[in-house]
Structure 1
Amino acid sequence: MMKANLITRSLFSTGLLTLSASALAAGTWAEARNDAMGGTGVASAHYGSAPLVNPALLTQFGPKDDLSIILPSVGARVSDPDNLVDGFDDVKSAWDAFDAQAGDGTGADSSATNLKQKLQDISGHQGKAEAAASAAIAVPNATLPFAFVAKGWGTANAKATVTQSDLAYLDAVGSGAIQPTQADLDKLTSRAEGLAALVTEYGVSVAHQFDLAGHPVSVGVTPKVQRVSTYNYNVAINNFSTSDFRGGDYERSETGGNVDVGLATNLSSEWTVGLVAQNLVARSVETKEINGIKDSFKVRPQATVGTAWSNGIVTTALDIDLTPASGFASEEKSQYAGIGAELNAWSWAQLRAGYRADMRNSDNNAFTAGIGLSPFDVVHLDLTGLVGSGRTYGVVAQLTYTF
């Protein structure tokens, strides 16, 4: 119950979930099977999830496969090492008490001391949430396998910026050197600052297998329409509210085109290697300027190489990012590696596990695990969980239909 409450309270980017919600996803997609296997998939994804991960894998279907529908796949991840949202609530309560006592002239010294302590407790604390959602319809065929894909992915972070001038003022009130007034409260400058970006995409994936010197090589491409919305949330620290984070006053959006390209080849009947480059068109979308502060969200071209081995019962996979992930210009870049495995029991049930690490050490590493239920290989229910350092938790749920 405590962990569930933490996840709910920490999702200051709850609005992202209404789109939908790397996340837990490996960057720009949510897919429960791949996420459970450490965020891999460039060489190990099923053809139905290929348009999300690597469009070249659309050619990797069986003789009985006619249609795959993912509707939906949703996931979210939070990292809140400092219990930030509760800290904002504590500051608001202490602020309101100081405001009331400063107005009537009673007990302001003790309430000022309490507010100063709450501000010091939260100073510099940060929290982060990610979310993603995906839907795809894949139609395999021998000539030109194709798929329709819609997905949304986003990230949000918040931090407490406490100024020394506020602490010095509250210290003076607490010692009795200054008698507070309502006008003084309006001059306090500590802030709650947050950034969020939400990317929505709609595309069509196609793939074809070529013969290269007697060796089969699949090539896939996903042209797409991409909308990037940024949010620059910057308010007085006592006014932080999760419901306001995606308010229109803080939003700026741009729409443009982009494209993903992938390659895949089977080195043997069990061993596959793949390469995907997502978002080949680099984009930079600025936020609104709020209280003199602005940033920009960088949609970066991201290349990932992967390899997988599978005999139908056991599958292992390894993915490594060759370039950093998309993110805000003010944030440290992240670049991931993931490893995972799946045990498939007669195509009726699956157990999965993996590990995902940021090779640049700017994000929390995490263990992943999940289960799959697929009666008659028609309806597939996949659930994934993630636990990592820095009070990091995540979940993904997915429903897939194959015919």
Structure 2
Amino acid sequence: MKRNIQLTALAVALSSASATAAIDARSFAMGGTGVSNANFLTSSFHNPALAARYSDSDDFGMILPTINVRAHDSGDLVTSIDNFSDAFDRWDESNGSDDQAKQEWIDALSAMDGEIVNADVSTGMVVAIPNRYLSANFFAMVNASVIAAPSVDDSDFNITDPDEELKSSVLGLGAGTVDIGITLARELQVDALPGRLYLGVSPKFQQLLALGYSASAEDADDDDFDFDDANTSTGFNLDIGLAYDINDQIQLGFSAKNLIENTLETNSYTGVNGSSTNATYVVGPEYVIGASYQTKLFAVSADFDINEKKYFEEIDYATQFARVGAEFDAWSWAQIRAGYSMSLNDHSEDMITAGLGLKLFGTAGIDLSAGYGSDNNYGVAAQFIMQL
């Protein structure tokens, strides 16, 4: 019997890291905030309007690259897989005579039923040219999400021989977007408003990728889960943003991303009931509001997701967060950051984040950040920046 019943469930999810919302490393460290407190260089990831908010000394900026990886194993599938494998090894070595090992194997198999692993990966680059006429950012970003889970067949609990074939299977769904576009923004002069108002838009070419995967226990192989096999479609999408500086310390922001809803079916795969099926990847509007307060040495910010972000039409899985963050800035040379993201539904977990920024002579530098949450929820991010 092939004992790697759902080893692929974890491998599929985590292998996507070699292949989600694009969040730069500074924002990641600050709990994911950015709608009101992103700078002109990271505005394409959070709020297009902020491309027009820059200082007199800013003439050019570049991020090459930014990358973040997040994985969530809410049911502790890693431990269940280890227990499953160890128990089967003992049962197999005893030629089926070790009843205790068999029972431990059955218990581990039962523990895997219904568990889900998901992972998000994003990477991107930006070239920014701020100016008083029409600030422009050229950007490219890739987002990938994977959800994988065991599908345990009850008949496998009744097998009596280690060489008997399992009926349980591996199910995995992967999806992603490739965005290439330009952010255009400028400050608007409104006499009735005492502060500064910014408006931005990011038209973009967008490619969708969607992949369904299923395999029996004996055939499961994580190498078979490859985004090169995904269905693809291409089209156009649009992000818009609005920002308002009440004064030099208090800022407000609103962003609407992916205003044009696009869907893409995966390739056909074998579902839980054994019949051929498809899943439908969804890229739809995401609305976020935010507020921030900042001085030369200190900043705090908060973002709120107005709506849930759904991944697949057929799967009851979506994310929605409220976020807060803070940053201490030592004369533009070094920054210490911390944040917290709170899940607003039962599908995700809260996460604590922290990070460090180092910028040589205030121009070139690196940002590093990491996050941790309960139920095996981890994340890391890094980026290289240049700002002139």
How big is the shift at 1:207? 0.5
Q: 1:56 aligns with which of 30, 49, 55?
A: 49
How big is the shift at 1:66? 0.8
Q: Kindly indicate whether the alpha-carbon contact (under 8 Å) linking 1:11 and 1:129 is maintained by their aligned counterparts in 2.
A: no
1:122 lines up with 2:112 in the alignment: yes
1:325 lines up with 2:309 in the alignment: yes
Q: Kindly indicate whether the alpha-carbon contact (under 8 Å) linking 1:88 and 1:240 is maintained by their aligned counterparts in 2.
A: no
Q: Kindly indicate whether the alpha-carbon contact (under 8 Å) linking 1:14 and 1:242 is maintained by their aligned counterparts in 2.
A: no
**Superposition map of 1:286-301 within 5 A:** 286-291=265-270, 292-301=276-285
How big is the shift at 1:368? 0.8
Q: Kindly indicate whether the alpha-carbon contact (under 8 Å) linking 2:47 and 2:242 is maintained by their aligned counterparts in 1.
A: yes
Equivalent residue letter for 1:306: G
The answer for unaligned runs of 5 or more in structure 1 is: 1-8, 23-27, 174-179
Closer, same or farther: CA 81–321 of 1 in aligned 2, 3 Å = closer
How big is the shift at 1:289? 1.8
Deviations 1:230-277 (A, max 9, x none): 12121123444333322655x222111101000111111111111100
Q: Kindly indicate whether the alpha-carbon contact (under 8 Å) linking 2:96 and 2:162 is maintained by their aligned counterparts in 1.
A: no
**Superposition map of 1:1-400 within 5 A:** 12-19=12-19, 22=20, 28-85=21-78, 87-88=80-81, 91=84, 107=96, 110=99, 115-167=105-157, 169-170=158-159, 173=160, 185=165, 188-215=166-193, 216-246=196-226, 248=228, 251-291=230-270, 292-329=276-313, 330-400=315-385
Partners of 2:311 and 2:340 in 1: CA distance = 22
Deviations 1:136-180 (A, max 9, x none): 00001110100100011121121112121221x31xx2xxxxxx5
Closer, same or farther: CA 98–248 of 1 in aligned 2, 3 Å = farther
3-state DSSP of counterpart to 2:365: strand
Q: State the identity as a percent.
A: 29
3-state DSSP of counterpart to 1:47: coil
Q: Kindly indicate whether the alpha-carbon contact (under 8 Å) linking 2:52 and 2:135 is maintained by their aligned counterparts in 1.
A: yes
Equivalent residue letter for 1:152: V
How big is the shift at 1:84? 2.3
3-state DSSP of counterpart to 1:212: coil
Partners of 1:302 and 1:383 in 2: CA distance = 26
312-321 or 291-300, larger mean C-alpha shift: 291-300
How big is the shift at 1:112? 5.8
How big is the shift at 1:52? 1.3
3-state DSSP of counterpart to 1:13: helix
Q: Kindly indicate whether the alpha-carbon contact (under 8 Å) linking 1:220 and 1:262 is maintained by their aligned counterparts in 2.
A: yes
Equivalent residue letter for 1:293: T
Partners of 2:207 and 2:84 in 1: CA distance = 36
Q: Kindly indicate whether the alpha-carbon contact (under 8 Å) linking 1:123 and 1:160 is maintained by their aligned counterparts in 2.
A: yes
Closer, same or farther: CA 92–237 of 1 in aligned 2, 3 Å = farther
- RMSD (Å) for aligned C-alpha atoms: 2.4
Closer, same or farther: CA 11–262 of 1 in aligned 2, 3 Å = farther
Equivalent residue letter for 1:235: A
3-state DSSP of counterpart to 2:110: helix
Closer, same or farther: CA 48–287 of 1 in aligned 2, 3 Å = same
**TM score, norm. by length of structure 1:** 0.85
The answer for unaligned runs of 5 or more in structure 2 is: 1-8, 271-275
1:25 aligns with none
Closer, same or farther: CA 334–302 of 1 in aligned 2, 3 Å = same
Q: Kindly indicate whether the alpha-carbon contact (under 8 Å) linking 1:11 and 1:78 is maintained by their aligned counterparts in 2.
A: no
3-state DSSP of counterpart to 1:138: strand
360-369 or 270-279, larger mean C-alpha shift: 360-369
